[in-house]
């Protein structure tokens, strides 16, 4: 795509442009967590605090969303407030939705997939989020597999997360990523974290001991022209981790209600996260917020190491 054509659909803030031009570390952030992840005003407060954490660690935040038909990289506080207030009225935008929203001039909250796309187009190499999507439970019959996995297979962005959401089939998710050649690294762990909990029973490919080590692996991947991104799984801090059996019992209850109500497609994840929050008396929401804070701090350190 020519620069002129891309400019019709991509808007990068002056701050982010300057940071990239000067070789400063930049960390991309998604917007689905704002519009679909939690209620207003908690969503806006969390998003702004996430940006502040990144700044405290010496990097530049770039919250990404689709605003009136433009992939906006580096949302303003006013735009974050706008997304937070609109909430579920903002479309959840994955790769298949992107061209429609851009052509129609509409708003969209970017998922892991679309955040990776916009970040890559802008020249950002590090993205920190909560948890990635993956292979859903029962996918052997439903074929319900998140587009996040395919994006990781083709878009050169390092994604820092707390593993894949524990409502998913973690074993099949790891098998899919292996098939696609996506390196799955654990930050100071050999075990794949499962979002709300540090334990899943599944191993990652390699354990990284520092942000510098993870950045060096990704740099080698980029230098060799190897296609796709990389996953750096960062366990939720122990103080906020939930008991594996407890969270699994609540997930099973939420899944049963999801089946009973006939909810499917991209409505499944927001429904399950909301239901689990209610079943746990809000504990899962607090865990979600704290793991995001933990991930963005690590993302900033990796971004700093990468630009060195």
Each residue's pLDDT tens digit, 189-237: 999 999 888 988 899 999 999 999 999 999 999 999 999 999 999 999 9
Which residues are known to be catalytic? Answer: 30, 165
CATH of the domain at 250: 3.40.1790.10
- Inter-CA distances, 153 with 36, 183, 221, 226, 228, Å: 25, 10, 13, 10, 4
Within 10 Å of residue 168's Cβ, how many Cβ atoms?
26
Q: Which helix (H) or strand (E) holds 65?
A: strand 60-67
- For residue 61, the cross-strand partners are 27
User: ∠ CA(267), CA(272), CA(276), 5° rounding?
Assistant: 155
Distance CA 82, CA 67 (A): 10
Q: What's the pLDDT tens digit per position in 244-266? A: 788 778 778 877 888 888 887 76
Where in the sequence is the domain holding 231, given as residue range(s)? 3-307
Distance CA 93, CA 66 (A): 8
Distance CA 111, CA 109 (A): 7
For 186, phi and psi rounded to 5 degrees? -105, 135
- Inter-CA distances, 306 with 18, 185, 189, 268, Å: 17, 16, 21, 35
Instruction: Copy the structure tokens of residue 147.
Output: 């587009």
Sign of CA dihedral 182, 28, 39, 86: negative
Distance CA 194, CA 307 (A): 29
Q: What's the pLDDT tens digit per position in 141-198? A: 778 889 999 999 999 999 999 998 777 899 999 999 999 999 999 999 999 999 888 9
Report the DSSP pairing between strands 126-128 and 70-73: unpaired
Answer for the pair 259, 267: CB distance below 8 angstroms, yes or no: no
Q: Which 3 state secondary structure label does DSSP give 82? A: helix
- Matching residue, tokens 């996995």: 149
Q: What's the pLDDT tens digit per position in 40-55? A: 999 999 999 999 999 9
Distance CA 74, CA 29 (A): 9
Q: Which of 104-108, 239-243, 257-261 has the lowest mean pLDDT?
A: 257-261
Question: Structurally, how many domains does the chain consist of?
Answer: 1
First to last CA, the chain: 29
């Amino acid at each position: 795509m020519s620069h002129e054509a891309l400019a019709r659909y991509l808007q990068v803030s002056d701050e982010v442009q300057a940071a990239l031009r000067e070789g400063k570390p930049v960390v991309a952030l998604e917007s689905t967590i704002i519009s679909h992840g939690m209620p207003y005003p908690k969503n806006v407060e969390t998003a702004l605090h996430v940006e502040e954490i990144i700044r405290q660690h010496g990097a530049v935040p770039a919250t990404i969303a689709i605003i009136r038909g433009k992939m906006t990289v580096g949302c303003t506080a006013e735009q974050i407030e706008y997304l937070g207030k609109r909430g579920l009225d903002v479309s959840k935008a994955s790769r298949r939705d992107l061209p429609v929203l851009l052509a129609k001039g509409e708003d969209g909250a970017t998922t892991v997939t679309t955040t990776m796309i916009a970040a890559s187009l802008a020249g950002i190499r590090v993205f920190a989020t909560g948890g990635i999507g993956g292979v859903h439970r029962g996918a052997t019959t439903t074929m319900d597999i998140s587009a996040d996995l395919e994006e990781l297979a083709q878009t050169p962005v390092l994604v820092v997360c707390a593993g894949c959401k524990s409502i998913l089939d973690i074993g099949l998710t790891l098998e899919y990523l292996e098939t696609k050649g996506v390196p799955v690294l654990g930050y100071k762990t050999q075990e794949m974290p499962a979002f709300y909990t540090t334990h899943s029973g599944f191993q990652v490919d390699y354990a990284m001991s520092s942000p510098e080590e993870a950045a060096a692996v990704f740099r080698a991947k980029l230098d060799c022209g190897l296609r796709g991104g990389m996953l750096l799984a960062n366990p939720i801090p122990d103080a906020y981790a939930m008991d594996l059996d407890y969270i699994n019992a609540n997930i099973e209850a939420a899944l049963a209600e999801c089946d009973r109500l006939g909810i499917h497609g991209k409505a499944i994840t927001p429904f399950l996260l909301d239901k689990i929050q209610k079943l746990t008396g809000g504990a899962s929401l607090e865990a979600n917020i704290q793991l995001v804070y933990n991930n963005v701090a690590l993302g900033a350190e990796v971004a700093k190491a990468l630009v060195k």
